[in-house]
Structures are given as C-alpha cells and as structure tokens.
Structure 1
C-alpha cells in the first residue's frame, strides 16, 4: 500500500517540471491525482507520461472562473479533496528600474493572487485532516536583483503558509511551504537571453549552490510527498528549504 492510497490530490501546474514529477510520484503512491495547466497539448503529454489514475483539467489559476470549474469538477467526480499542491507559478526577470505594471500584475496575479484563490475556493471540499503544500522558493530569503516582483510573490506564499496553518488548526489541516533552490526544469529556458543562453543560465545558477549542482524535479517531488503525507504529521506552518544549501551555508 502506498503512502497516499485512497487520497484525492490536486496539483496545479502539473504538466511540466516539479508539478509533473510530483504527480508521477503521487500516482505511484496510490493517489487519485488531478493536474492543471494552461496548455491542452502539454496536459495530454503529461497524462500519457504519468499513466495511472490522473485527470487533467485545463485552466489558469489567475482566472477565477477556471478555478471554479476545476473545483466543480473535483466535487462532481470525487466529492472532496485530501491534498492540495499549489505549484503553478511563473518566474520572469525585470529589475526594479525597468519593471512595468503589466509585469508586476502578471507575476503577482499568478503566483500570489492565483495561489490565494486556488486554496480559498477549495476549502469547502478539503477534508478535515488534509494537507496543503505551497511552493515558495529561495527567492523569499535572498536578494535577487533581477527578480524583485517574483521574490515578493514568493514571500507572500511563505506568509500564506503561516497564516493559513493558524487558521485551519481547528480542522487539523496542515499547511506547509517548500522552498526549492535552482531546479532543472523547463522554466529555466524562459530565463535565457541572446547573450546568456540556457547552458550559461544553468551554469550560473549551479555556481550559487554549495552542493555545486542544480536540483532535480524528482528531489523536490520527494520533499513534497513528505509534507503532504503523514510522514510530516507534526509539522504545520513550516517552510522546508530544499536548495543544496543555498540559504543555509
């Protein structure tokens, strides 16, 4: 029997990267998993890749109507949910002097606002004793001059973990966040520039990590499983750094 046998799980941003690796791991542990994503083609590829008990729901967490549709489908098909992994997010560089209102609104609209309402709208379906795992990041602990909006949005995620954990104590719902360091995922491709290609971006990030390498999505998935399962039954409001020592050494 797996650690999540009989559990219903929703993972936002589950079609690539950390979300996809987490969905694979959770299905292998016996869960019935829903994954969301903005692109139907990527969702179809992810479903084939994951195999097993996985359902795809196309949607953007920045769109409240999409969130309503997601949770209505979960209610109709499963009745309730046990675990939420709020993984969907974007990372866009824009230093303070050049950041536009549109950039700020896009980053906060998805990362901070989208995560907030993903969880708020799920609360009527979330079983007592359930678990919420939020994806924060090392950016809320260190100064990244090229990513001030992104860093601020991840600081919001870290704060949500504390405030929601306190608010949901009476329902025995645990809320924790995880802060990955630089991870080998497709999101790194979006950070490339004409003068700084993907290989250079990856090498530069790896050089900031005491362990000297990028993390793998599967390593983060293992940590998310720990926070989502009963293995972490005495943890709530915590942020777990999984960053090769970046914020600790």
Structure 2
C-alpha cells in the first residue's frame, strides 16, 4: 500500500519496540520517515535496518527537543505525520516512590511529549496527523503504576485539547492506548525471563482475547490515523488491549 506517499513522518523513540514497528509500517505505506532515540548506536542501527533517517535526541530534555525541531526544519522542512512515541516505564508503590522515579517518568512521558508537540506545531503541514502513544493503564487503576498511569492520562488530556487548538489548520490529533504488547520495555524494567513469563501468563488471564498484542498491531493503527481514511477523526483515543480494560 502507498497510502502515505509523499508524506514526511517523524517517529520519536523509533529505534525499538512500537516506534520501530511504526516507522517500518509508515515507510512501507510510502512515507519518508525520520526516527529519533537517545542512544546514537541504537538509532544508527535501526535507521540502517529500516532504510530511514535517524537523529539522536533525548525527548526528556527540552533543549534536545528544540535542537531536534531546528534540525528537522532546516534539513527536511515541514512534516505531515508526528508520532510521539518515546516513553519509559517504571513501577513503584506510592509509599515507596522517590522524586527521581517521578521525574524520570514525567519528564519523558508527559513533559517530553508535551514539548515535542509544542515545538513541532510550527513544522506541521496543513492537514497533518499527530498521534500520541498512550496506554490502557490511563483508564485503569493498577497497584505500582501511579506515576506511569498518571503520565498517560495526562497525555490523553493533552491530546484532546491539542485536537481543539489545531483543528483550524485541519491538523488531527489522536492517541493509541495499547495494553500488554510484546516489546523490550518489560526487560528494561529489570524482570528476569522467569518473571517475564509469569507476568505474561498473568496478563493473558486478564485479557478476553487471551493473547498479548504486537508492536505491529499498534503500528497499523498509527498508520491508519495518519492516512486519509481517518480524515474525520480527531480527539480520539483507541484502546488496543484485547478487551483487558473491560
């Protein structure tokens, strides 16, 4: 399919997981894709594998976001698709939370997402599409997830207000909220293979469709939001969790 032919897309956190899959899908549908990430080696490797452009940027740092926006503006002009995907996951009980836990998550998941949108608004073409990666946990109340879930709930609030503010320019803003998804993020939390299997088994028990989603599932929804088929959709959150949040 070439639904996104002649479109320019930027995917933050595009060197792994859902961001990587989204970059691959957007490119497959004809878009010219730029990915970002914090680690130069990982970004370069992913960009080479995908056949896209890779830029190093820490989405948790405002100065880095501003530098990225300037670089994209100078080298590539305006963009048509912005997938704000970069995020981190840490789990802690409220009683045990530290300021560092709070700042690590909020700085990337919300502050970073907020200012990525803010700084890239001038670079968005008329009729562009913005997609945020949220989470089904934004609508759930799980122990140990207070900071992470709050960051994703904040994303959904931002998304809806941005949809109103950008509507005069025909820019659509939506979010995708996956449930359990097969990515590397759980390993980054520090779980062993045995613990991962236990967590996966527990999650599958909670999911009516009895399976864990894939990054490719989410990538297809991002591409859908970015194309003409979704031209009348803005301010929407799509929950992709196999019915888990029901």
Q: Say whether the 8 Å CA contact 1:188–1:201 is kept in structure 2.
A: no
1:134-213 matches, within 5 Å, as: 134-193=132-191, 197-213=195-211
Task: Specify which of 102, 105, 115 is matched with residue 103 of structure 2.
Answer: 105
Structure having the larger proportion of residues in helix: 2
Give the 4+ runs in structure 1 shifted more than 6 A. none
Task: Give the number of aligned pairs.
Answer: 246
| Residue ranges of structure 1 left out of the alignment (5+ in a row) | none
- Displacement of 1:89 in angstroms is 0.4
Task: Specify which of 71, 74, 94 is matched with residue 72 of structure 2.
Answer: 74
Question: Is 1:8 aligned to 2:22, yes or no?
Answer: no
- Displacement of 1:223 in angstroms is 0.7
Question: Is 1:49 aligned to 2:49, yes or no?
Answer: yes
- C-alpha distance in structure 2 between counterparts of 1:164 and 1:194, whole Å: 39
Task: Specify which of 90, 93, 96 is matched with residue 94 of structure 2.
Answer: 96
Q: TM-score, normalised by structure 2?
A: 0.96
- C-alpha distance in structure 1 between counterparts of 2:111 and 2:76, whole Å: 26
- C-alpha distance in structure 2 between counterparts of 1:212 and 1:195, whole Å: 20
- Displacement of 1:50 in angstroms is 1.0
- C-alpha distance in structure 1 between counterparts of 2:160 and 2:240, whole Å: 18
Say which SS state the counterpart of residue 126 (structure 2) adopts. strand
Q: Alpha carbon RMSD of aligned pairs, Å?
A: 1.4
CA deviation map 1:81-113 (0-9, x unaligned): 111000000110011110111101111111000
Say which SS state the counterpart of residue 94 (structure 2) adopts. coil
Alignment match, 1:126: 124
| Residue ranges of structure 2 left out of the alignment (5+ in a row) | none
Question: Is 1:21 aligned to 2:21, yes or no?
Answer: yes
Alignment match, 1:58: 56
Q: Say whether the 8 Å CA contact 1:191–1:201 is kept in structure 2.
A: no
- Displacement of 1:196 in angstroms is 5.9
